[in-house]
Amino acid sequence: MHYSIPYEKDLNQSQLNAVQYHHSPLLVLAGAGSGKTRVITYKIAYLINECGFDPESILAVTFTNKASNEMKIRVMSLLGEEVDVWIKTFHSTAAKLLRVYGSYFGIKQGFSIIDQHDQHTVVRDIIKKMNIDTESHKPEKYVYLIERAKDNLLDPEEARAAEFSTDPLFYDIFHKYASILKGDNLFDFGDLIYNVVRILRENKEALTLLKRRFRYILVDEFQDTNHSQYILVKLLALPEGEVCVVGDDDQSIYGFRGAKVENILNFQADYKGTKVIKLEENYRSFQTILSASSSLINRNTGRLGKTLYTRKGKGEKLCFFHASTDRNEAIFIASEIQELIFRNGYSFSDMAIFYRMNAQSRSFESILSQLRIPYIIVGGLRFYEREEIKDILSYIRLVINPMDEISLRRVMAKPPRGIGTKTVDTLIQCTIRGGVPFYDFKNCSEISSSRSKKLSNFTALIMELSEEMNKTYPPDILRKIYDETGYVEWLKEQNKEEKLANLDELYNAVEEFSRRNPSSPISEFLEEVSLNQAAGDEEFQNNRVCLITLHNAKGLEFPVVFIAGMEEGIFPHFLSGGHKDDIEEERRLCYVGMTRAMEKLYLTAAKLRRLYGRNIERSISTFIHELPEDLLLYKEEKHLENKSVSYYSSEARNQIKRGGDKSYRRTDSFVESDIEKGTRIIHKQFGKGKVLELEKGIAVIKFDDGKIMKFMLQYTPIRREETDED
DNA sequence: CCAATAAGTGTTTTT
DNA sequence: CACTTATTGG
């Protein structure tokens, strides 16, 4: 009847055990590259196909949208059809639960979700109103404390009782913050989880309802759960214990947002009869990469401990390059990318550059675009965080939720309407704070008639839009907002071409959304983008080098990885403090980065780095010194200068001097590749083979399946077959 | 009271 | 470099 899945063939023994076991709670300790996602996806398929679970009764939670999307696709391809399993992030699970079941349990519908920037704005306003200076009392500090309090399921009063912070002002600020969000019907990320937990704890009926619905729960990246997420899972999963969590304590990198590695350790204590399965075979990396990263992570204390091994062969040494400046670091990486493309047959999408801070991407952007190397920045200055995009989204939010003062403030002077902060303050005071929508201001005596007239124009516009909100096709609503608020006109006056282009892109995104979900209102689009801050999902489709932060790189893999900025103060970052725990988290981050690499791993540093406008001398990261010397190949700029091959000194540099060559053409130096007559090669598409003839850059290759083909070497994705010589 | 401009400052990682 | 705050002209 259903697809028969060859579990035994596709999985190794430990993976198979993890997939088939479901007699008690299951903890899978999955080392880097050990097939963690494979286990979860096959397990979901197994539960449905072999154990008779209704797809709707399975809940699989991840941390990122990227992970959940990938998981959905893989489950779908295993089962051969789309299934109704909930595969979602923690936050979108919570949001969906609050939307679907919330109204039964006292959650007001139509809430919007705010991001950290909005949180910051609210807190800054509170501090200002309290007449405290924002120098010694930094808003970001309070945002951080509020988030941590919510992670720990504390409301302002409970936080005070628990002496959560030594700063007495905190409780007051937290209290004001909470009441503003409540009054505006806004939720921050922490509220989503917090409120679900609160309902489940206080309301037996809700708990029964959800427990009846979700019979089996899977959690990915369990080491990244914070307290509230841990409790949420526990509420749903106990006492039955139909649960499987997968994680790796060595890859815990989100301590700064409340994640607790201890949750992995506590798991066995909280869930009676837990079965532990370790996945220790690494399918991703060569031995050198694995050895180097293992010896780094071995320096951390309090680990559960795993012994990863690989059967992929030895591999080359890692390369450490010490550049004189950050610019030269970028040039080195760029030229190395060209080499790997032309000589080894890698494609751009095989390679990634990792860095600790988003600000580091700039130097790569400029060099790569000068050399016409295609790249994509993942994360970074995200699309939905751009000013113009947030402005338009705020208009939509305001139309949906007239109590949303954050959006109101944001949008009021864009374009300028003769209404400033003073007037907005009084307006909010006598409307939203009194529990009525912002457009009910007729009883406000404090607002002068001249302002009142201007306000009326604005409120009439928003009310008109809200009339149409539910009956109009979402892209048309967007168009109306563009035109009738005067926003697009305003941008045109200022010749903000890029912003206008972004608004076109936003329009396309809404159109695309409406095509996917024909009957969904625009509010659902809003939900989607609030919880999925990432850019479009065609990120990896084109052939581009991936530029990404180390944090975002978790869960990904690339044949070639460059980790840039291996310098004290940057990585480990100086703000991460000198404390042991912080350094260990940075070390885990380095471990995560290194273990993304399948074949080649480069680590680079600069002696002089320009950052935030000033040049600073930097020394090499301790993490480099912590790697075994015999696994590292040191390269310095001066070594390269002497090289006769046009390496980075002439070829790449000349191009940069020319400002990039549009008709970029390989030069002879690249023809001297390491491929010659007789070389065994791997072709990206056709697999392994041997070079029979090689003349004028054209190779005749006989593949192992007998096929003989001709290729232009320079355009062919082939590279030497790595021989694991001893 | 609003809006545009000039000076000043402090710098991570993300759902 | 980007973002916040202070100042000034309207």
Q: How much is the average pLDDT of A118-145? A: 85
| Residue A256 CB lies within 7 Å of the nucleic strand B | yes
Q: Is A510's pLDDT higher than 50?
A: yes
Distances (CA, A) of A525 to A61, A64, A475: 21, 18, 11
Q: Are strands A318-325 and A597-611 parallel, antiparallel or unpaired?
A: parallel
Q: Integer distance in angstroms from CA A40 to C1' B5? A: 57
Instruction: Identify the residue whose Cα has the smallest distance to the C1' of B12.
Output: A357
Tens digits of per-residue pLDDT, A355-400?
999 989 888 988 888 888 888 888 766 778 888 888 999 999 888 8
In this complex, which residue's CA is closest to the C1' atom of nucleotide B4? A416
The alpha carbon of A155 is separated from its chain's Cα centroid by a whole number of angstroms, namely 28
Which residues of A belong to the active site?
Answer: 36-37, 220-221, 251, 596
- Asked whether residue A293 carries a pLDDT value surpassing 80, the answer given is yes
Question: What is chain A's length?
Answer: 726
Binding residues for strand C (Cβ < 7 Å): A 124, 134, 612-613
pLDDT of amino acid A638: 67
- What does the pLDDT average to over A302-324? 90
| Nearest Cα residue to A94 out of A187, A220, A31 | A187
- pLDDT band for position A106 (cuts 50, 70, 90): confident
| Residue with nearest Cα to nucleotide C4 C1' | A134
Nucleotide nearest to A121 (CA to C1'): C4
Query: Which has the minimum average pLDDT: A280-289, A528-537, A588-597, A697-706?
Result: A528-537
Tens-place pLDDT, residues A7-56: 888 999 999 999 999 889 999 999 999 999 999 999 999 999 889 899 99
Q: Which nucleotides of C are covered by protein (CB under 7 A)?
A: 1, 4-5
Question: Does the CB of A429 fall within 7 Å of any strand B atom?
Answer: no
Question: Is A225 near strand B, with its CB below 7 A from some atom of it?
Answer: no
- In the prediction, which pLDDT does A27 show? 95
DSSP class of residue A663 equals T
Residue A660 has pLDDT above 80, yes or no: no
Q: Is the pLDDT score of A655 beyond 70? A: no
- Percent of chain A residues topping a pLDDT of 90: 40
pLDDT at position A245? 96
Q: What is the pLDDT of residue A247?
A: 94
**Which residue's C-alpha is at the least distance from the C1' of C1?**
A612
Mean pLDDT of the A715-719 span: 66
Least confident of A134-148, A431-445, A671-685: A671-685
pLDDT at A276 (0 to 100): 94
pLDDT of residue A662: 31
At A717, the pLDDT band (50, 70, 90 cuts) reads: low
The least confident of A263-272, A506-515, A534-543, A679-688 is: A534-543
- Where is mean pLDDT largest: A95-109, A217-231, A598-612? A217-231
Give distance CA A125 / C1' B1 (Å). Answer: 19
Rounded to whole angstroms, the Cα distance separating A492 from A478 reads: 17
Q: Which nucleotide minimizes the distance between its C1' and the CA of A448?
A: B1
Q: Comparing C-alpha atoms, which of A393, A350, A356, A400 is closest to residue A375?
A: A350
Model confidence pLDDT, tens digit, residues A555-614: 999 999 999 999 998 998 988 766 788 889 999 999 999 999 999 999 999 998 888 777
Q: Tell me: cis bond preceding A415? Omega within 30 of 0 counts.
A: yes
Predicted pLDDT of residue A198: 92
pLDDT at A652 over 60: no
pLDDT score for A685: 66
From the CA of A149, how many Å to the C1' of B13? 20
* Nearest DNA or RNA nucleotide to A610 (CA to C1'): C1
Are A206 and A104 within 8 A, CB to CB? yes
The dihedral through the CA atoms of A55, A56, A58, A63 has a sign that is positive
Strand B, CB < 7 A, residues 392-421 of A:
413, 416-421
**For strand B, is any atom closer than 7 Å to the CB of A526?**
no
Q: Which three-class secondary structure state does DSSP give residue A636? A: strand
| Tens of pLDDT, residues A144-175 | 999 999 999 999 999 999 888 888 889 999 99
Q: What is the pLDDT of residue A697?
A: 62
Nucleotide nearest to A611 (CA to C1'): C1
pLDDT for the residue numbered A666: 31
Residues 590-629 of A with CB under 7 A from strand B: 612-614
Nearest-CA neighbor of A581 among A282, A290, A259? A259
Report the range of poorest mean pLDDT among A119-128, A234-243, A443-452, A712-721. Answer: A712-721
If residue A426 lies in a helix (H) or strand (E), which one and from where to where? helix A421-430
| Closest residue by Cα to residue A34 from A199, A273, A280, A215 | A280
Between CA A282 and C1' B11 the distance (Å) reads 39
A671: pLDDT strictly greater than 80:
no
**Signed CA dihedral, A339, A345, A347, A350: sign only:** negative
- What pLDDT sits at residue A127? 85
Residue A139 CA to nucleotide B13 C1', Å? 18
Q: In terms of pLDDT, which residue wins out, A256 or A494?
A: A256
Q: Which of A82-86, A425-429, A709-713 has the lowest mean pLDDT?
A: A709-713
| A628, pLDDT greater than 90 | yes
Cβ of residue A556 near strand B, that is under 7 Å? no
The SS3 call for residue A710 is: strand
pLDDT score recorded for residue A726: 27
What is the mean pLDDT of the segment spanning A684-708? 73
Residues A93-112, mean pLDDT to the nearest whole number? 86
> Shortest CA–C1' contact from A451: which nucleotide?
B1
- A694-703: average pLDDT: 71
A281 confidence band (pLDDT: 50, 70, 90): very high
Is any atom of nucleic acid chain B found less than 7 Å from the CB of residue A514? no
Cβ atoms within 10 Å, residue A166: 6
Name the pLDDT band for A640 (thresholds 50, 70, 90): low
Q: Which nucleotide is nearest to A420 (CA to C1')?
A: B2
How many CB atoms are located within 10 Å of the residue A68 CB? 22
Higher pLDDT, A302 or A95: A95
The confidence score (pLDDT) of residue A541 equals: 54
Contact yes or no for A15/A30 (Cβ under 8 A): no
Taking 90 as the threshold, does the pLDDT of residue A58 lie above it? yes
A381 C-beta less than 7 Å away from strand B: no
Query: Coil, strand, or helix at residue A633?
Result: strand
Give the model's pLDDT for residue A90. 94
Q: Are A152 and A120 in contact (CB under 8 A)?
A: no
Mean pLDDT lowest among A55-69, A87-101, A464-478, A590-604 = A464-478
Q: State percent of chain A over pLDDT 70.
A: 89
Encode A385-397 in three state secondary structure. Answer: HCHHHHHHHHHHH
Q: Which helix (H) or strand (E) holds A610?
A: strand A597-611
Q: Separation of CA A625 and C1' C3 in angstroms?
A: 37
Which chain B nucleotides are covered by protein, judged by CB under 7 A? 1-4, 10-15
The answer to whether residues A286 and A259 touch, using CB atoms and an 8 Å cutoff, is no
Question: Which tops the pLDDT comparison, A592 or A709?
Answer: A592
Residue A188 pLDDT > 70, yes or no? yes
Mean pLDDT score of chain A, rounded to an integer? 84
Amino acid at position A120, single letter: H
